[in-house]
Structure 1
Amino acid sequence: MNKKLKYIWAIAIVLLVNVLVISIVKSGSGSVGALSKLGSQGSEVRSIQTKLQNQGYYKGKIDGIYGTNTRNAVIRFQKVKGLTPDGIAGPKTLKALGLGGSGGLGGFSSNDISLLARVTSAESRGEPYVGQVAVAAVILNRIEHPSFPNTLAGVIYQPGAFSCINDGGINAPVSDSAYKAARDAINGWDPSGGAIYYYNPAKATSGWIFSRPIITVIGDHRFCS
């Protein structure tokens, strides 16, 4: 009798464990790393805010905090796109924003990200983090601009484009923040406001660059159109 009772208890425990495991898997699937919602924070939220702002849905500060204003902007976007207006940036909403795909990195390879990080690190050393992202964003903006080459390598290695290519700064150790800044820029965060040029007025030697309209100032850099 005791053996039979132990056998029944063993089966019951196994069944209970299986139920718990299945519940955990179901609750986690499709949500881990796949959505941002009210209370979320981080680079993905900044990317969402940037995309929404660029499309006219979001007027607030790009601060990486998924607050009420961000949620309401997401709802407006979802309604226009025919998505469930739940205010949650899940896979379908992220894809509609242009943040879907492989990690939201826009098809850039690991070598591309490394190259962008190297230039960002060399060109923005000593600058605040938002300034590092802005430098990376300028490089990406040039790819889309008709006045520049349409590839990352083409933009970076364009003769005279970046001083770090000529002085060897691109070969210096890369800061961890530069890798993060490169990814944030690729994911859509553009603190430069769409700039295609930047300069440090204390170091710039070209008179022409001072004639460019200034969009914003971050740290020691002026970002221009």
Structure 2
Amino acid sequence: MAIGLLLPAGQAEAAPVLRWGSESGDVWDLQFRLNLLGFYQGKLDGKFGSQTAAAVRWFQSHYGLSVDGIVGPRTWRMLKKVSVNQYELDLLARVVYGEARGEPYVGQVAVAAVVMNRVQSPLFPNTVAGVVFQPRAFTAVDDGQFWLTPNRTAYRAAIEAVRGWDPTGGALYYFNPQTATSDWIWTRKQTMKVGKHVFAV
């Protein structure tokens, strides 16, 4: 798995329709997302063949989409809603490492889950980058620890959160009660405590 931070090439633009025989970086991105979610086990080669088509159909069936094996706008929308690309995974792992290295593993997954919960919430930006770089959202971004190189555990925790493990019960916030300076954060309903972090909605 790549550890370096990749550029978000064209992530905001609509991806082209992909089908059997397509070959491109968009197919690689499709394979990466499907692999991350557990639908695709083949080689990430940018070639839309039988394994990719089967994975697309499985994904479409799982999420209640028309099962045609073609990746059009509706399939892309759902895929981008429930998965991340390589750049976004790197961002997520950096947040985990910067904010929660040294915390129990479940606490690292919980931090990643908060990011994913914010992406899904109408109260926050709807992209991982938007959430991560929202002003004053994460201490690690503000103090520069975000730019440390994440370890494999941080990536594994990020992947588990993307795949749906949310030990926080839908938390949108977390804080360290020993260092929190905001009175407002104490007004939030707390869902759990892991290590030094309290998670809240």
Quickly name the TM-score band, shorter chain normalised: 0.5 to 0.7
Q: Higher helix share goes to which structure?
A: 1
Are residues 204 and 180 of structure 1, via their aligned partners in 2, closer, same or farther at CA, if it must alter by over 3 Å?
A: same
**Cα deviations by residue, 1:126-153 (Å, 9 ceiling, x for unpaired):** 1000100000000010011111111110
* Aligned: 1:204 with 2:180: yes
Instruction: Please report how far the alpha carbon of residue 92 of structure 1 lies from its aligned counterpart in structure 2 after TM superposition.
Output: 4.9
Distance 2:90 2:112 in 1: 12
Match of 1:11 in 2: none
* Aligned: 1:112 with 2:107: no
Secondary structure of 1:182's partner?
helix
Secondary structure of 1:201's partner?
coil
**Cα deviations by residue, 1:12-58 (Å, 9 ceiling, x for unpaired):** xxxxxxxxxxxxxxxxxxxxxxxxxxxxxxx97xxxxxxxxxxxxxx
* Aligned: 1:138 with 2:114: yes
Are residues 193 and 94 of structure 1, via their aligned partners in 2, closer, same or farther at CA, if it must alter by over 3 Å?
A: farther
* Percent of pairs with identical residues: 47
Distance 2:114 2:83 in 1: 18
Gaps of 5+ in 1: 1-42, 45-90
TM-score for the superposition, normalised by structure 2: 0.61
- Counterpart of 1:96 in structure 2: which amino acid? H
**Cα deviations by residue, 1:158-178 (Å, 9 ceiling, x for unpaired):** 001001111000111212100
Secondary structure of 2:171's partner?
coil
Matches within 5 A, 1:116-127: 116-127=92-103
Q: Greater relative contact order (Cα 8 A, min sep 6): structure 1 or 2?
A: 2
Match of 1:149 among 125, 132, 142: 125
Match of 1:96 among 39, 47, 62: 62
TM-score for the superposition, normalised by structure 1: 0.54
Are residues 196 and 116 of structure 1, via their aligned partners in 2, closer, same or farther at CA, if it must alter by over 3 Å?
A: same
